[in-house]
Amino acid sequence: MKNTVFWALLVINALLLAMLVSPHIRGNDAMAQRGGGGARRPDVMMIPGDAVSQSSAIVYLIDTKNQQLAAITLNGNGNGIDSLEPQPLDRVFEDRGGGEAPKTKTGKAGKTGK
């Protein structure tokens, strides 16, 4: 009887030791953002904001590497999240300089590089 209890306690202790050591043996890599299809991993900035038409706050998500903007907020009932699909920021900044070319000293519009 004592021999059986001894071996049972030995096996239980070995299992407990294995459970204690196992998290430190294998890598602790985050697998959630492994991109497939050549997508770059995002660098996300989260910016809190308010909307005039809503009572709940908005969190703007700006992906600086992929140059996209998204937003999330609580829905009207407060039991779920509404989200804006990611929008490309390239089209927002495409036409930054729209307007006439600056005038030269003679008062005529200068040449543009187009």
Rounded to an integer, what distance in angstroms lies between the CA atom of residue 46 and that of residue 60?
Answer: 6
Distances in Å between the Cα of 112 and the Cα atoms of 42, 72, 98, 100, 103 are 36, 41, 12, 9, 11
Q: What pLDDT is recorded for position 10?
A: 96
> Does the pLDDT value for residue 111 go beyond 60?
no
Q: What is the mean pLDDT of the chain?
A: 77
pTM, whole model, 2 decimals? Answer: 0.46
- 56-97 pLDDT, tens digit each: 888 999 888 888 889 999 887 778 888 888 888 887 767 665
Q: What pLDDT is recorded for position 41?
A: 65
Q: What pLDDT is recorded for position 105?
A: 59
Q: What pLDDT is recorded for position 110?
A: 52
Rg (CA), the chain: 29
Q: What pLDDT is recorded for position 16?
A: 96
- 4-20 pLDDT, tens digit each: 999 999 999 999 999 99
Q: What is the chain's percent helix, strand, coil content, to nearest 5?
A: 25, 25, 50
* Residue 50, strand partner residues: 57
Domain ranges within the chain, ordered by starting residue: 41-92
> Does the pLDDT value for residue 51 go beyond 60?
yes
Rounded to an integer, what distance in angstroms lies between the CA atom of residue 95 and that of residue 100?
Answer: 12
